[in-house]
A and B are shown apart, each in its own frame.
Chain A
């Protein structure tokens, strides 16, 4: 009996080793262990074995079965992994073939720059507000301390609709509109489109954008203005940026200043980009003129504030090193895709 079992086992092992595919292996399993298999036949013949030998023989059959099964499992695993390996090998791809892009659109450089500026000031507690682009002469000039016949009015090359209505030349009228609402303290920036009668060329456009900023509260000082704009410049142009305040004149601020930052290309040493000066002018600012506060119904003895105005295109052109302003309004896909 034992010999027979050994014989079956030996043959099973041989067949298992010879099986090259999972199907062949299954055939071996059926032939040996299946309902009609050889080993099953041996079990079935147990009734012919003497009852006292049955446990021993049963044990022998079970051992043989276990051996075959484990051999089968091993072989199966081996074949399966070989098959997987083959499959993976056939599925090799050229990973350097071109990507299938998601085709997401791009920002306009103005908006990319604006969003950076907005984020900086929102972080400092500023609200972003707007005002009308077609504006009353009163808000664009008079409320900003630029009365009729003021030379500054002629300097701005204003587009007029009629005597009282014009295309705003600056975002500053938003200052007056916000102050007039009388909600204090004020901490706003107001980005938007402005218009001046400049012919189109590489550095001029009759339509461009400014960002106005204004803070009004008790105890706001010129030192606060300096600190705020220094912070702004560092966040926008890098931590090493230095800021220079030069006295200047704007009718609606006093004292007033123009602000230069160290050239971010050469770090202030002077290069072609900054025309050798090491500094680049980026904005105008000052303490809100007491008369402007008064005109908007705010008591200058109680409240003080500062205001500033930045040219958005100037920031965008500088930051992204765009050399021709006309590109901003052409909307060439190859240009926009870079932002």
Chain B
């Protein structure tokens, strides 16, 4: 929303402030000013001059020498403008003045300074200007020529300021109005706020009675069929229309509002829409069949040509204005070509109605047409404003002499909206705000806002234009706004003390993040939604359940259309980005959700599972990643046996370099080297490793309940065994034998050599472990160790392992 500051000041006569002061005060009382634009910021020393005589320039074909009356004197100005003529009244910038830009419409920040000088040897004491040089456009001043000087009308006063004569001495203020303040999408609403903010008197226009002694009911009948979509329909008739330009004062105001003046009738409807925030429409009454308006829903698939010449297809959710035979307008959005005002109009029907805002919003989307009118209606207007606006328009018609207003108003208003009443509860407002404002002061603020207080009943009557005031909290805000948010004291909450902290889940996640960081991984973030093509890139089987992703019904595009069920795509993309930018040894992790539907389509919210995804390329291998996984598990107190199942069957990993991570018999994650095919799909030219931990499983098993175990007092004994092992036997199989057969006294074991090659039979590998035995309560006897070792060796023999001699 924007307003001319001059217009506001006209409605609040006592208001004296600079634009900056206005901006600051209005913002702090709730009408946020985004910025203001002084239309004359770059205009200086520009007057209305009159060309007295013209002679040819001796040395330039395209230049002429003019003697120009600027009020105080006649001065010489050289110009190249093609449209200059003797007697022309033109804007003249004097020596030392400034213009806003060039005549081609380019704007120069700070303006262009004009100095007197010589043009091809002939003295020139200023410059005659085009409308573009004055910082405006032909759009706003249609009478200005396409190329050349702006020519004033004959009554323009020579010597006066051209800036104020053109209405360019105004300030345009741009506001951010919140959706609850429908009344502030109008000059009157904002002027009322300005008056309340600066505590000055608000003087709205006095709407007088208009119309001749004829009766409008003899000209038009109105019937609302769709009463759910049209709360009120008012209509008036104007005869003997004389289309002409509107007066300068009206044009100036419209221009400052950014609206191009067209003719008196169009300008009046626009003027009233700005002033009252009430859109109006004018129909040529002679085109209205049966002198009858019917407000009804459209028929499904009905075609209609709007006044911009476009054919629109509507359905029965769209409200239409019809005459006795046919539709003549899409309600609240745009009138029809068949009934529009032309220069030949003689009798006109003015419509000022109130439609259902939500319906207009939906219809506007459906029809694909958002107009100034629809954007006002969709906010949900006050039906009581409609009658004021139409009467104001007719008053302007009479004032401007553009027609004869027929007496009376057709007003169909099935369910009258009346003011509501709210109790005056000063204690409640104070207790909400933490203030100590007196009831008198509060009532004074309410008075400025036209809330009427009745002492006997202690009730406040809320005007219907303030649809946002429905409860005590709303009134508390009104008090706060005019008391000043800045004047409300500051305190900290008292009451029962609470202990802050992270939830248990977040605590575990934080530990895990930190370990990942200490292991050299930096934290990344990727999107939760991705393309369904991701599954092909990851070589996921066509019938794999992991492809059952939740689909967004209105995505930004296919690339963002499903909620991820695997955390790998983001990681692979990020690793590839880094690799292609030649970043070395990159280690990343992400802590983010995957979204697993319990059923598709969704019948309940999906399972959001937090995943820790680790990924790296460069220095390190599979076992580096495995070490990081184990470090993380150890730091969250998962000190039980972790096993690795190489038969994880994950297509995106190298078939021989992948494993599921198993703890307590449950798969809690997986890791592997990225399959070269998948790496190629991501244009990742390095060997990369990825591990994923399913955080809900981690959170469930994390344990910080540490108990001290005494440091061993008795000596340990070690035995080394060197073995020849069939290639298909895993280290994990051998270790399982140790664990199973070693008994209580086997304290630990460690692989210290592994070898395949020349000295070893094909299909075998050599492995050597060091086993440590210790008893907690005594010195071990040789016999204890021998017994344990024999059990172990027997067990190893059982899986085809032989001792190496």
Contact = CB atoms under 8 A, between A and B. Distances in A.
Contacts of A255: 432-433, 473, 476-477, 480-481
Interface in A230-285: 230-231, 244-249, 254-258
B728 to A, nearest CB: 36
Contact of A104 (B505, B513, B517, B527): B517
B433 A185 contact: no
B522 A333 contact: yes
Interface in B570-605: 574, 577-578, 581, 583, 586-589, 592-593, 595, 601-602, 605
B520 interface: yes
B552 A160 contact: yes
B214 interface: no
Nearest to B604: A165
A167 B553 CA distance: 11
A257 to B, nearest CB: 6
B517 A107 contact: yes
B601 A331 contact: no
B592 to A, nearest CB: 8
B492 A228 contact: yes
Contact of A334 (B502, B529, B583, B606): B583
Given A124-B500, A125-B498, A291-B471, A104 B520 contact: yes
A312 B562 CA distance: 24
Interface string B493-508: 1111111111101100
Nearest to B430: A221
Interface stretch (B178-186, B282-290, B753-761): B178-186
A160 B554 contact: yes
A13 interface: no
A329 B433 contact: no
Interface stretch (A27-35, A50-58, A211-219): A211-219
Interface stretch (B27-35, B65-73, B229-237, B744-752): B27-35
Interface stretch (B78-86, B87-95, B482-490, B708-716): B482-490
A11 B528 CA distance: 92
A157 to B, nearest CB: 9
B518 interface: yes
B355 to A, nearest CB: 14
A327 B526 CA distance: 11
Interface in A103-161: 103-108, 110-111, 118, 121-130, 132-136, 149, 151-152, 154-155, 159-161
Contacts of A154: 361
A125 B523 contact: no
B664 interface: no
A304 interface: yes
Contacts of A94: none
B472 interface: yes
Contacts of B556: 197, 199, 206
A246 to B, nearest CB: 6
A314 interface: no
Contact of A123 (B468, B471, B500, B518): B500
B498 A118 contact: no
A165 B492 contact: no
Given A223-B488, A337-B522, A126 B495 contact: no
B525 interface: yes
A248 B431 CA distance: 20
Contact of A333 (B496, B525, B554, B586): B586
A134 B605 contact: yes
B272 interface: no
A215 B498 CA distance: 11
Given A133-B528, A223-B490, A333-B583, A152 B503 contact: no
Interface string B368-405: 00000000001110000000000000000000000000
Interface string A302-339: 00100000000000000000000000111111101100
A165 B598 CA distance: 14
B550 interface: yes
A173 B527 CA distance: 21
A255 B428 CA distance: 13
A132 to B, nearest CB: 6
A296 interface: no
Contacts of B380: 151
A162 interface: yes
B751 to A, nearest CB: 26
B433 A222 contact: yes
Contacts of B180: 249
A159 B28 contact: no
Given A124-B500, A165-B602, A130 B525 contact: no
B139 interface: no
B412 interface: no
B358 A149 contact: yes
Contacts of B601: 162
Contact of B605 (A136, A215, A334): A136
A239 to B, nearest CB: 15
Contact of B498 (A103, A108, A111, A126): A126
Given A247-B481, A332-B583, A118 B378 contact: no
Nearest to A108: B523
Contacts of A256: 477
A105 B29 contact: no
B474 interface: yes
Nearest to B480: A255
A287 interface: yes
A127 B553 contact: no
Contacts of B560: 206
Contacts of B472: 290
Contacts of A246: 27-28, 30, 32, 485
Interface in B599-616: 601-602, 605-606, 608
Contacts of B589: 105
A40 interface: no
B473 A152 contact: no
A223 B361 contact: no
A125 B497 contact: yes
B516 interface: yes
B505 A130 contact: yes
A328 B432 CA distance: 40
B519 interface: yes
B702 interface: no
A254 B51 CA distance: 62
A331 B528 contact: no
A220 interface: yes
A224 B493 CA distance: 5
B239 to A, nearest CB: 39
Contact of A135 (B27, B587, B605): B605
A130 B180 CA distance: 30
Given A105-B517, A159-B555, A257-B485, A329 B32 contact: no
Contacts of A222: 432-435, 480, 488
Nearest to B557: A199
Interface string A60-88: 00000000000000000000000000000
Contact of A249 (B178, B495, B578): B178
Given A207-B529, A254-B474, A105 B495 contact: no
A227 interface: yes
A140 to B, nearest CB: 12
Which 10 pairs across A and B sit closest by C-beta, in order of nearness? A223-B434, A221-B434, A247-B30, A255-B477, A331-B524, A249-B178, A331-B574, A122-B500, A227-B490, A254-B473
Interface of B: 27-30, 32, 178-181, 357-358, 361, 378-380, 431-435, 468, 471-474, 476-477, 480-481, 485-486, 488-503, 505-506, 513, 516-529, 550-556, 560, 563, 574, 577-578, 581, 583, 586-589, 592-593, 595, 601-602, 605-606, 608
Given A130-B506, A151-B357, A207-B527, 15 more contacts: A108-B523, A108-B525, A126-B500, A128-B501, A130-B503, A134-B563, A151-B380, A197-B556, A222-B433, A223-B491, A226-B489, A245-B486, A247-B29, A331-B525, A333-B586
5 contacts: A105-B523, A206-B527, A227-B490, A331-B577, A333-B583
